[in-house]
Chains A and B, each alone.
Chain A
Amino acid sequence: MSTLPRRAWVEQLMGMPVSLHLRGPGLAAPPVAAAVEAVFALLRQVDAVFSTYRADSDVSRVRRGELAAGGAHPWVAEVAELCEQARERTGGWFDAMLPGPGGAPRWDPTGLVKGWAVEAAARLLSGHDFCLNAGGDVVVATLPGRPPWRVGVEDPLDPSRLAGVLPLAAGAAATSGTARRGAHLFDPYHGTAATEVAGVTVTGPSLLWADVYATAVAAKGATGLTLLSGTGYEALLIEPGGRRHTTGRFPGAV
């Protein structure tokens, strides 16, 4: 049983709750407050550039043709390149071209931006013992001699319960599924909403890729777990009927 001091900070950013927990002595020190503020400030800036809900964001202006892609914040090109890599690495099961309101595909990098941004924000916490949770996607780091963070995996069939626990000393865990927002995932091959997966949690070194793989597997279904072979990422998948699948080295108790 740990007696490590711990503090939490929470802000609503990019349309989701972002909570940062730090462990260890000296959490009241000004440099800690500065690091915490830097994390939230970066995420606010990312939102200003990428939000598809904000008419004045770079991405919204590019979509309306008011801003050339080359004139947007350099982050936009970086994310566009990563979206392309993500599409290739997942055999097309992650795709930033999503159907718009009229059905016509349009570029929506939101599914990748979150992981990319939160991972970048986590880098500002180097040297800290932290757990950063952005809308259910998690990045942690643990200082030597400290216990791993225990990440509960929400049961997609009953969000008030946990489907398992994943001890995580360093790296990320990301979950995709239909539990929270209804059928919001899109199968890019069939043009329909994906429903075969209630929830899939992917863990590995990078939040960006854990998140991309979680999205891709959720879109493809249980057979999508083969996308993770040899990647260093592991997953727990739960079907709507409750059946569970894990990859060979999924580290959690389920």
Chain B
Amino acid sequence: MRRITFFLLATLAGLVGLFSYRTSLGAAIPRPGQALASPAPQPTRFADGQVVDGSAVTTDYGVVQVRVVFAGGRIADVVTLQVHTVHEHSLVLNDFALPELKQRVLAAQSADVDTVTGATATSRAYLDSLQYAIDQAHRA
């Protein structure tokens, strides 16, 4: 369940500015593969009702594609477009993982935070953390 959540987060984060936070009106869209020294991405405003679809990503659990709906410059909803699972076990995982992801995205966004303090995050726990999502949204 944790791992599929991570895949969903990563999928989402790589394609759109996952979290809006206070910078939501001027959120930079991370460009996958962008080099460190490249120019900072231009601020982008997400219009009300704007829908951004991620590309389909193949994970260990199957093919995952997500759609993000914006309202007021913020993420209003996260929807899976396709989750083609490899086996039945993954179906169960997906049933749990997507609501968890959605809840996490919406909760963090409503709190409007720039960073998160917490007891020492191991590298593994980090991949499943709010801080990871924030970092991904602003990665150069």
Contacts and interface: CB of A to CB of B under 8 A. Distances in A.
A237 interface: no
A1 B122 CA distance: 32
A7 B118 contact: no
B77 interface: no
Interface residues of A, number: 52
Contacts of B116: 133, 136, 151-154, 162
A151 B116 CA distance: 5
A19 B126 CA distance: 11
Given A16-B122, A136-B121, A156-B118, A151 B113 contact: yes
A154 B121 CA distance: 11
B112 A180 contact: no
Given A6-B23, A33-B37, A138 B121 contact: no
Contacts of A171: none
Interface residues of B, number: 44
Secondary structure of the A contact surface, majority rule: strand
Contacts of B121: 16-17, 135-136, 180
7 contacts: A1-B26, A8-B139, A152-B108, A154-B129, A161-B107, A165-B113, A181-B119
Interface of B: 21-26, 28, 36-40, 43, 73, 100, 103-104, 107-108, 111-123, 125-126, 129-132, 134-135, 137-140
